[in-house]
Amino acid sequence: SQQGEEDPQALSIQEGENATMNCSYKTSINNLQWYRQNSGRGLVHLILIRSNEREKHSGRLRVTLDTSKKSSSLLITASRAADTASYFCVGGSQGNLIFGKGTKLSVKP
């Protein structure tokens, strides 16, 4: 099983600013995934980065992966109020996907 631990636990920024969230995990993974959860909703998959990749982009999202440090970061550029949500990372391998507590992002208009 793989667990993701997100940092910081909470982040508050102004609209237009960039938001950076970090993630650490404990053992070997095949991929690292980020999910978003809006209040009262289910989780939505944002992006997956494979263990042999170092950086990946998707729209305003940029994910990095450092397997030597067992860490990943998610950067959201030019944030919008609609980005307000909780963000979770999770490492995928042969077992289950175990989620951490997430980073709660608040983007103020």
Partner 1 sequence: EAGVVQSPRYKIIEKKQPVAFWCNPISGHNTLYWYRQNLGQGPELLIRYENEEAVDDSQLPKDRFSAERLKGVDSTLKIQPAELGDSAVYLCASSPSRAGVNTGELFFGEGSRLTVL
Residues that bind partner 1 (CB under 8 A): 2, 29-31, 33, 35, 40-45, 48, 88, 91-102
DSSP helix/strand/coil, 93: coil
DSSP-derived letter for residue 81 is: G
- Looking at beta carbons only, is 41 or 69 nearer to partner 1? 41
DSSP-derived letter for residue 82 is: G
Q: Work out how close the CB of 98 gets to partner 1 at its nearest, in angstroms, rounded to a whole number.
A: 6
Amino acid at 36: R
Q: Work out how close the CB of 7 gets to partner 1 at its nearest, in angstroms, rounded to a whole number.
A: 13
Q: Work out how close the CB of 93 gets to partner 1 at its nearest, in angstroms, rounded to a whole number.
A: 5
Could you give the angle at the alpha carbon of 51 between the alpha carbons of 49 and 55, nearest 5°? 45
